[in-house]
Chain A
């Protein structure tokens, strides 16, 4: 393993873990629906970065390129649907507090 290769691997690994921890922290700590969605997006970004790294390591960058673009498209659709639900929830509750979503129990 050459030094250059190892350095790219480490840099990518560091940022993947950083993004993942940020996303997880964001989802666990904040009580705002929009922030929860942003945390989710951060987590997906971390996985997308992992996909790029995997493509680099296994030497199949062209396949992973296609995969990463597909993941980005799907993730945008998820974000749009989540945003729509958040908007509707805001209209019912007049705030974006996630604690407003506890009508269903049992």
Chain B
């Protein structure tokens, strides 16, 4: 069953590309929509009958060992939701049918890579899926062959390749120590042996993933890549790609393989706090809407790492829930920026103002997304931040919880600046004739806003169904 999440999209792409004529190109969009909707439904209902179906013949043919647990369900859900939002935005921002076909193909490849990352239990297969995702994202950023996009894509490519080299070196060293590449075997070997080579390998791995996730000393590519990418690609990258590739992988490996070391905890807490403060302060000074959202993304990733660095159940649960929330509200804000960009042709915030009266749906949903990002109750972002801050306080890192609360105020500040410059205030004369965004973009933003409100208001339900089962993974 699990291998179908990878094989069905793969076979679908091959069949669609066999005849790249107009009917097949039109079919591609609906095929992608169908895949992502079925992925969301499968991950949301989580009925064991569906997930435990055995497929002997496919499994013997496709010899990648996959496994599924509570965190994977949440990630699969996020991947499905954000991919649908990105697909809907692409339909109204990429006008040429051939270009849209290319985008849909690359989007499906990215989702194959991310599904693989979420499901693997072998460190070398993890590397392969990381590379699939990264390669598809380089091409996606440079899809429109825009001058800035080429630059952003090249920066991402170089830094990502260096991260890959770090990961590969680490994989080689871990393979030497344990003689195998599966998570379980490496964990057992690490429990027995403890020397400097292992410490070096773990350090390299964490650094490589920090580059891929865009944590602060390694963040230089994030604003360039996000702000120069086409609108639909920004939704995908900012919402889910870097979080799956960098942050989720870090969480998975530390829980399943490396284990929590006190010194590693200190490093993670420091990295997280640095990311939060730097990202928030840098976001205040931006004039470009997408660039501000990119810095905001760095800051929110800091919260995830900070919560995860506690090492307690509440901290890790908060981190996972914040990944979910971040992927929803950040993709909502990027969808709004795409809506503004299609109507105004620019993302410079100084040329905007008062758009709320002309674009009511975009204005309203962006207020919801912004309040969730700033952590205002009862929206979903509040609960995950609360969990993270309480976990920090309980585990004794009171300074860090203080930093997290203070930075939350800065988050509210820069998001309010964005709202005031873009949606509130006086409408300028050039923008008198703009309309509401196209129906697809509005649908995407309404869908994401409903998810934010729903998971915030029904938080006890969400907590019991999705977050609480994580406990059995951590206490082992």
- Roughly how many angstroms separate A36 CA and B139 CA in the complex, as a whole number? 19
A85–B161 contact, CB under 8 A? no
A47–B172 contact, CB under 8 A? yes
A47–B169 contact, CB under 8 A? yes
* B residues contacting the other copy or chain, number (CB 8 A): 38
Residues of B within 8 Å of A63, CB to CB, are 181
| Bitwise interface map of A from 60 to 100 toward B, beta carbon under 8 Å scored 1, else 0 | 10011001001100100110011011101100100000000
Q: Choose one: A50, A74, A81, A88; the contact of B169 (CB below 8 Å).
A: A50
A104–B131 contact, CB under 8 A? no
Whether a CB of chain A sits under 8 angstroms from the CB of B173 is yes
- Roughly how many angstroms separate A40 CA and B145 CA in the complex, as a whole number? 23
| Bitwise interface map of B from 262 to 294 toward A, beta carbon under 8 Å scored 1, else 0 | 000000000000000000000001101001000
Whether a CB of chain B sits under 8 angstroms from the CB of A54 is yes
Interface centre among B139, B148, B158 (most CB of A within 10 A): B158
- Roughly how many angstroms separate A44 CA and B131 CA in the complex, as a whole number? 13
A43–B175 contact, CB under 8 A? no
> Mostly helix, strand, loop or mixed at chain A's interface?
helix
Q: Nearest A residue to B152 by beta-carbon distance?
A: A104
With A47-B169, A51-B168, A85-B150: A40-B176 Cβ-Cβ less than 8 Å: no
A31 CB to nearest chain B CB (Å):
13
Q: Choose one: B128, B138, B155, B161; the contact of A101 (CB below 8 Å).
A: B155
Whether a CB of chain A sits under 8 angstroms from the CB of B157 is yes
> Mostly helix, strand, loop or mixed at chain B's interface?
helix
Residues of B within 8 Å of A86, CB to CB, are 154
Whether a CB of chain B sits under 8 angstroms from the CB of A33 is yes
A85–B176 contact, CB under 8 A? no
Which of the segments B222-230, B235-243, B436-444 contacts the partner chain?
B222-230
A99 CB to nearest chain B CB (Å):
12
B135–A81 contact, CB under 8 A? yes
A58–B175 contact, CB under 8 A? yes
Whether a CB of chain B sits under 8 angstroms from the CB of A106 is yes
Q: Nearest A residue to B154 by beta-carbon distance?
A: A85
Residues of A within 8 Å of B227, CB to CB, are 104
Residues of B within 8 Å of A82, CB to CB, are 154, 157, 161
Residues of A within 8 Å of B173, CB to CB, are 54
Residues of A within 8 Å of B152, CB to CB, are 104
With A40-B158, A104-B152: A58-B142 Cβ-Cβ less than 8 Å: no
In the complex, the 4 A-B pairs of residues with the closest C-beta atoms, listed nearest first? A104-B224, A54-B176, A47-B168, A101-B151
Binding site for B on A (CB under 8 A): 33, 36, 40, 43-44, 47, 50-51, 54, 57-58, 60, 63-64, 67, 70-71, 74, 77-78, 81-82, 84-86, 88-89, 92, 101-104, 106
